[in-house]
């Protein structure tokens, strides 16, 4: 897959993930260095937000906007993933009051490769493409967006509508036949 960085095409490495597919498990790290696993089956719906760098205006504004949009949503685990350095991430989270999402670092680029987001060339080589994924409690991807131009923002309305639909979806479960009626 390709996106553009300021109009220049770049290739993304890793496996492209589609709606209806299984979400892989990916390891990421807290700013303190503890390993976490995101993706796959989980007790709550997951919103995974890939952020190229919180040091840029578009990324920092996007992180703050998502933080505001997610206030009060229950039954959702929100994870922002970046490749920024731990000290900067800690300072950003504290300074900006990011409290409705966890911010992790893709130190090994495991998340980037498993979700097809690793920029493979150019001045943003080894950074993440801007994207978001929603994963239901069964580990199925229900929404994806990989922004075609790195300087553009995610479609917040479409993403939040998809979050609402996934969080409030009724589980299908087993339907009993009406075998007792004659």
- The catalytic site residues sit at 59
Q: What is the CA radius of gyration of the chain?
A: 17
Residue 140 CB-density burial (10 A; 0-12 exposed, 13-18 middle, 19+ buried): middle
Of the candidates 101, 149, 105, 104, the one whose C-alpha atom is nearest the C-alpha of residue 124 is 149
DSSP state of 81: E
Distance CA 74, CA 84 (A): 28
Residue 134 structure tokens: 């929603």
Question: How far is the CA of 29 from the CAs of 11, 65, 83, 85, 88, in angstroms?
Answer: 25, 23, 10, 11, 14
């Amino acid at each position: 897959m390709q996106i553009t960085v300021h109009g220049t095409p770049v290739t993304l490495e890793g496996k492209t993930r589609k709606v209806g597919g299984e979400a892989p498990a990916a390891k990421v790290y807290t700013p303190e260095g503890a390993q976490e696993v995101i993706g796959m089956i989980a007790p709550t719906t997951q919103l995974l937000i890939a952020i190229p760098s919180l040091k840029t205006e578009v990324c920092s504004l996007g992180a703050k906007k998502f933080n505001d949009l997610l206030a009060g949503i229950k039954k959702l685990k929100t994870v922002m993933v970046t490749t920024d350095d731990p000290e900067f991430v800690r300072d950003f989270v504290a300074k900006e009051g990011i409290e409705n999402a966890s911010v992790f670092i893709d130190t090994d680029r495991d998340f980037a490769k498993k979700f097809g987001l690793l920029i493979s060339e150019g001045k943003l080589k080894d950074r993440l493409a801007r994207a978001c994924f929603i994963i239901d409690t069964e580990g199925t991807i229900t929404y994806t967006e990989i922004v075609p131009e790195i300087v553009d923002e995610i479609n917040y309305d479409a993403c939040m509508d998809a979050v609402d639909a996934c969080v409030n979806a009724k589980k299908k479960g087993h339907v009993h036949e009406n075998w007792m009626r004659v």
